[in-house]
Amino acid sequence: MTGILNIQINPIIGNKDANLRKIDYFIKKNSDKKLDLVVLPEFFSTGIDHDSFINLPEPEDGGDTIRYVCELAKKYNTNIIAGSVIEGVNGNLYNTSFIIDRNGIIVNKYRKIHLYNYMGGTEGERITAGNRLVTVDLDFGKVGIGICYDIRYPLHYKELVKQGAEIIVLPTAWVVPNEIYNDDSALKNAQDMWLAMNKTRAYDNLVYIVSCNQIGKCNNNVSCIGNSLVIAPTTELCSNAKNEQGGFYAEIDLNIVKLYKSIYPIAQID
């Protein structure tokens, strides 16, 4: 069995130290479990803070933020997918997820391809889109990476499966307007839609989906809907963080992926 820990938090805008300490705290609370992979949300260290994105991006190696996460990987003997940070390279800004092994080594990184430029989103006005799909062999299995709005593009997931992904991990900061967040019925509809999309990606591709979201108010306009998820290829819900901050643990069986792919070779069927 493979142990997965989603860290769902409401980051304090611009307070990296406090946000990183919170992540350490929630990993420590779960350190008695078998931790093969810890997943952090999109913008885990800063929250959705456009000023810091533009004025204080991380360097190409992830800077102090990713170095801190590398130390956590060593400290807790776990692989970590470090949500995302804004990476500044040669005058361009990228929304980048770093993949770190148990030795605290950065083994790969993924720059978000599908930017949120719709329904009022302006990510593409600041951020440069990535151009490379990423899968990585970790010591428990092969992991594909997306970030947030990538989930709206099914062919992105199909290509990761063609590269051999058994798990697809999606750090995210999935937001709704505050008028929806503050309306219980409207919020439930948004969360049901989020759950349905994740279940569909798992079932269509016969992989585990691990989506790690922020929770709570981001600013005066939008809030994140939580519901960090671990979903099996069968659409079984292994873990759901719902509307709470914390570390949310699930054990998954990658033999199920191998079995279903042997029966139904989805990667070879168009």
pLDDT at 124: 67
Name the residue among 209, 211, 226 with its Cα closest to residue 175.
226
- pLDDT for 266: 81
The residue to which tokens 């901050």 are assigned = 245
pTM of the model: 0.95
pLDDT at 264: 85
Span between the terminal Cα atoms of the chain, in Å:
31
Q: Is the separation of the CB atoms in 130 and 109 below 8 Å?
A: no
Q: Are 63 and 55 in contact (CB under 8 A)?
A: no
Which pLDDT belongs to residue 38? 98
Residue 267: the pLDDT is: 75
Encoded amino acid at 11, one letter: P
Query: Which residue in this structure is represented by tokens 């016969």?
Result: 206
| Tens-binned pLDDT, residue by residue, of the chain (270 aa) | 999 999 999 999 989 999 999 999 999 999 999 999 999 999 999 998 877 777 789 999 999 999 999 999 999 999 999 999 999 999 999 999 999 999 999 999 999 999 987 766 777 688 999 999 999 999 999 999 999 999 999 999 999 999 999 999 999 999 999 999 999 999 999 999 999 999 999 999 999 999 999 999 998 889 999 999 999 999 999 999 999 999 999 999 999 999 998 898 887 777
For 256, the enclosing helix (H) or strand (E) is helix 254-263
Q: Identify the pLDDT of residue 155.
A: 94
**pLDDT score of 50:** 76
Give the residue from 83, 65, 73 showing the smallest Cα distance to 6.
83
Residue 122: per-residue pLDDT: 74
Say which CATH topology domain 2-268 has: Nitrilase/N-carbamoyl-D-aminoacid amidohydrolase (3.60.110)
Residue-level pLDDT at 139: 96
Question: What is the C-alpha radius of gyration for the chain, rounded to an integer number of angstroms?
Answer: 17
Q: Domain map of the chain by residue range?
A: 2-268
**H helix or E strand, kind and range, residue 48:** none
